[in-house]
Chain A
Amino acid sequence: MDWILAPWPWYVSGPLIAFVMFLLLLVGKNFGMSANFRTLCTLCGANKKARFFDFDWKSQRWNLVVALGAIVGGYIGAHFLSNDNAVILNPDTTEELHTYGFESAGNAYTPNELFDMKAFNTPKTLFILLVSGLLIGFGTRYAGGCTSGHTISGLSNLQIASLIATIGFFIGGLIMIYFIFPLLF
């Protein structure tokens, strides 16, 4: 059982992600987690404001169920399948993060500095989380997919568009880490 409770190595995790994609294809669906944001917007009444949200949202109910499953999966993974949630990083990365003020690097799953309940009382953290969400929501719909839809599904199907999107993901990520992080933290 120890191997289940320890972090799963990349060579187990990667193929399992592909397996999830195959399962969805075999039940007639496509792997893509960000599409749920559009469905949720429509459920909140956005279809009255913009044509983009005026679509057959019921055809996307299955994806909301997958997302709900992912929430439950996260709960199971964290509470029943882990001894120690700390993520062991490259020591250089840990040190780098400590100098940025992320003291929890090396001792936690996600930074306490961002995802601890104290975040709700810290304006700067709330701002960072909100802006990151805005970029994710806007960018995924603009690009027509996220990591699951483009980097995994699209590239598996050898789509040039998904390669362009994935290159874009990395350009954006590198700009954030190398140019914007030093200003933020």
Chain B
Amino acid sequence: MRVLIYFGIGILFGIVMYKSEAASWFRIYEMFTFGSFHMYGIIGTALIVGILGVQLLKVKKVKTMQGNSINFKPKEKRVPRYLFGGIIFGLGWALAGACPGPIYVLLGAGYFPILVVVLGALLGTYFYGYFRDKLPH
């Protein structure tokens, strides 16, 4: 039952990513060259609704389906890992024209060379895990 819920949420997410064209390499290029408001509109409205919704969930102390408190994960108060990691990810995001969510979406849409990006991402994740203790966080 739970599995079906997660699967359903994933399907909805995949459809939204595809139909919003957020999974299009062209849209990412256009965003980084400030050619269109489209991507900023998507991120901006997601954030407005997201911020208001999260505040509402907190104020109303809404419980999860299982009856627990919602797990809002606070992030660590550090700079280097977020800045350096962020820049490295940004380089890849612009080159692949896809962040991790759209990578799965493009695979489903039938753009199979994205599998090479997946292979790279797994290797990159592995390298991070391997060198983690030597990196400034």
A49 neighbours in B (Cβ, 8 Å): 126, 129-130
Contact B26 A89 (CB under 8 A): yes
A144 neighbours in B (Cβ, 8 Å): 75-76, 81-82, 85
B79 neighbours in A (Cβ, 8 Å): 164
Count chain A residues whose beta carbon lies closer than 8 angstroms to a beta carbon of B: 126
Across the interface, A155 reaches (CB within 8 A) one of B2, B50, B101, B132, namely B50
Number of A-B contacts (CB under 8 A): 509
Q: Max chain B CB contacts within 10 Å: which of A133, A134, A156?
A: A133
Across the interface, A177 reaches (CB within 8 A) one of B15, B32, B103, namely B32
Count chain B residues whose beta carbon lies closer than 8 angstroms to a beta carbon of A: 115
A1 at the interface (CB under 8 A from B): no
Q: Main SS of the interface on chain A? A: helix
A38 to B46 Cα, complex, angstroms:
26
Contact B104 A62 (CB under 8 A): no
**Which residues of B52-97 are within 8 A (CB) of A?**
53-54, 57, 62, 64-66, 68, 70-79, 81-97
Query: 13 new A-B pairs (CB below 8 Å) besides A109-B26, A136-B100, A160-B75?
Result: A8-B21, A14-B45, A20-B12, A62-B6, A71-B107, A132-B117, A133-B121, A136-B121, A137-B120, A138-B125, A140-B89, A146-B100, A170-B32
Q: Which residues of A contact B (CB under 8 A)?
A: 4, 7-30, 33-34, 36-38, 40-41, 44, 46, 49-53, 62-63, 65-79, 81-82, 87, 89-90, 92-93, 96-97, 105, 108-111, 114-117, 119-120, 125-126, 128-144, 146-148, 150-162, 164-177, 180
Q: Which residues of B contact A (CB under 8 A)?
A: 2-3, 5-33, 35-51, 53-54, 57, 62, 64-66, 68, 70-79, 81-97, 99-101, 103-114, 116-130, 132, 135
